[in-house]
Structure 1
């Protein structure tokens, strides 16, 4: 064990270094809070702090040093000549195995250090049946969001569990035929279509050697009425609305089918001419059109939602469709370690791994970690905004897919670049995202050095006195697309009065906070940099998710824009 010195402990900060200091001169830090009637007081004991530190990922409880920085040594008689017993008691009462040692300063004052290990993955420790966490100077019940996040860390693959009572007769023959055909077509093995179903199910690990089928078999292949019997929440609901402000839907369809049939039927419903309108763009004198919603992007998004949803939360996958946007939500929030900033760079583990493996074998989804890349690459290549996960929270993933061609010049530029390159030399999702960010005047701080060097060497990006700019070919593409400086200004700049009249009263307040640099009537030149959903929530008395929805609505109207990444960027008001 690596023991800290008193000098090292004195330089530590309680929150940053996961350490808790207690004076305890007389050895009076209670072991278990016994004798105190108030639960809040009982928690502030050795067991309470050990449990909270363990839940935080490990740390140390230091007794015999003042909690004010730089933590003056007070000395303590806590567990004097009884360190072994204290270790045993903590292990007996919590199953946490600490390591305890003592230090002495130059005046022979004693300091007791209790090193607390990190909790096991997916494990939450409790004191008096309450999971604890440190909040400032207090020990409080762990938030629901953190509790759920920890539980999901080691969440077993629901789809590989045996579905008791499910039989071969419960499976849909057409779904089985489609599964076999997709595998045969992908791997060019037509003979696979004739392999006995039992053998295919075992090869795909949908059936064990004793003939028991799992939940992956149910979701992928079972008849509709059987799915409803075992998983009544396994539905995909599509609601169509003409306008974003509408509460009632114009049309609605509910899909409860084996997944190998469902994904085609969901796409067919979304892809109706009236609800998936064509988006037109120019290339000199020729006019072309793209559907608002790309089939590959939509299929990938729906299958991602199915593979990553949390099945123990009784909630359907809901797709809200508008003429210019799809909003897809699934229960459970991002997998552990994934956020809006690293979603392209982190290979997450799908919650339904068995389902995902079968979908990969049959070619319905890309290799793990490549599906989101593909969604981003296609959206950028079509001149549309990138997939937007900014409304995701701990309880659900919310993906917004924009259907409007926002930058026809970038569309033409990428098209010309890609069509003249061999497959191995095509721009990847990270290259395209860098071009996208530069085209919008966003910061390139999050662009990795390899991508930046590559694009500069190929002269797709150029260094100027004003920073990194797109290749001069981009200006040529604006002319080909009929985008003049005047029309561009109309797209980028908006009339303050006309646009803000569409906002709610709360959204108007948000707009003026961002525009005027005023928070709680205090002028701040850097207010834009500090305005977050949290600060707005506190200032306006609304929940964070409500504020996020307001910001998203204001962004779609065109009165604010996001500069930089979701984590490190800031909001700016758009005024003429």
Structure 2
């Protein structure tokens, strides 16, 4: 057994004896975001998982078993219902897998529920949506390229099962070909992601049992160890490849985006031309690097850089602008393409 595996097992055993989420957070009732707590109770009552209505923060949290003997909130209560003191969520849109060219970068604090909502909105705003016409009517519905139910499940799983003793934040990386959601921690010792995805393991083994119980009461998660299978089932139904893996102390859920499934061009967001995926990735990276170095790039400069005709360079630049990698400035004559500052 490796040193890392042994350390993980020791931490897991210690956590079982004295779970982090059941310990006193040292935070008081006055720090509770009552709007978040009230909405939580209303959802729980509606789902028939909380048998009482909202009264006040002290009464509700006591009845939910989220107060300590010292009168302070448990860590579970603080995580769910108090704005975080530190950044707990980092999100970015990245131009390449090396994470060198960052097109957008956000850092968030808040309650667990606020962070899930912010992460969900960020992902939806930075992936594609298709218009689908229901066969029973002429109503057009916008369908995200990654199932919303799978995104929500992955986000709640990340916040529920993460290792809170670790100062690292939940992170979301959005690439042209994938969306990666990952959190500090690991799977229970002796288990692998495939065990849960295949259904070989069905027993839920949450690291943070009190947080899991809290999220169950609002129907935001189930407690049957089926979260990963529900993610996979939703993705399979929509033809979206998904993988779950561990990497350097973190658990990743990675969704493959539509462009990659279709064999897309990372520089243009469209079909590959000449079958050159590596070449198009290099083109995009080269254009972005030059645009960042000089504060912008013209069609003529891009044509010279890429050794292509002006019309080909213009097509690449316009496509990259349409996909949020660049921003157009100026008129058609003398137009400059600058690195995008917002999300794409």
| TM-score of Structure 1 vs Structure 2, range by shorter chain | 0.5 to 0.7
Which residue of the other structure, out of 350, 355, 359, is the alignment partner of 2:211?
Answer: 355
Match of 2:189 among 333, 336, 342: 336
Partner Cα distance (1:405, 1:155) in 2: 44
Distance 1:295 1:340 in 2: 21
**1:389 is matched with which residue?**
244
- Work out the CA distance in 1 between the residues paired with 2:132 and 2:37: 42
Q: Deviations over 1:411-437 (max 9, x none)?
A: xxxxxxxxxxxxxxxxxxxxxxxxxxx
Q: Specify the alignment match of 1:212 in structure 2.
A: 72
Question: What residue number does 1:197 align with?
Answer: 57
Q: CA deviation at 1:257?
A: 0.5
1:162 Cα deviation after fit: 0.9
Match of 2:38 in 1: 177
Displacement, 1:186?
Answer: 1.2
Structure-2 change in CA distance of 1:348 and 1:300 (3 Å): same
- 1:247-275, CA deviations, whole angstroms, 9 ceiling, x for partnerless residues? 23212221211113222222122222xx1
Larger Rg: 1
Gaps (5+ residues) in structure 2? 263-271, 283-344
Q: Distance in 1 between matches of 2:146 and 2:43?
A: 24
What are the superposed Cα offsets for residues 100-124 of structure 1, whole Å, 9 maximum, x if unpaired?
xxxxxxxxxxxxxxxxxxxxxxxxx
Counterpart selection for 2:81 from 211, 215, 221: 221
User: The residue matched to 2:193 in structure 1 has which SS?
Assistant: coil
1:363 positional shift: 0.7
1:444 equivalent in structure 2: none
**CA-based RMSD:** 3.2
The equivalent residue for 2:102 is 249
Mapped contact 1:334–1:396 kept (Cα < 8 A): no
Instruction: Render the CA deviation track for 1:222-245: whole Å, top value 9, x for unaligned.
Output: 1x3xx31xxx35x01111135546
Q: CA deviation at 1:303?
A: 1.3
Instruction: Report deviation, 1:152.
Output: 3.2
Q: Which residue of 2 aligns with 1:162?
A: 24
Q: Higher relative contact order by CA 8 Å / sep ≥ 6: 1 or 2?
A: 2
TM, length-normalised to structure 1: 0.41
- 1 CA distance for matches of 2:107 and 2:25? 24
- Partner-residue secondary structure (3-state), 1:154: helix
Measure how far apart 1:334 and its partner are: 1.8
Q: In the alignment, is the contact (CA less than 8 A) between 1:244 and 1:322 conserved in 2?
A: yes
How far apart are the structure 1 equivalents of 2:256 and 2:169? 22
1:27-426 alignment runs, 5 A limit: 143-156=2-15, 157-164=19-26, 166-187=27-48, 192-209=52-69, 211-222=71-82, 224=83, 227-228=84-85, 232=86, 235-244=88-97, 247-272=100-125, 275-279=126-130, 290-344=143-197, 345=199, 346=201, 347-385=203-241, 387-390=242-245, 392-393=246-247, 395-404=249-258
Provide the residue aligned with 2:304 in structure 1.
none
Q: How many residues align?
A: 264
**Structure 1 portions without partners, runs of 5+:** 1-55, 57-142, 409-493, 505-576
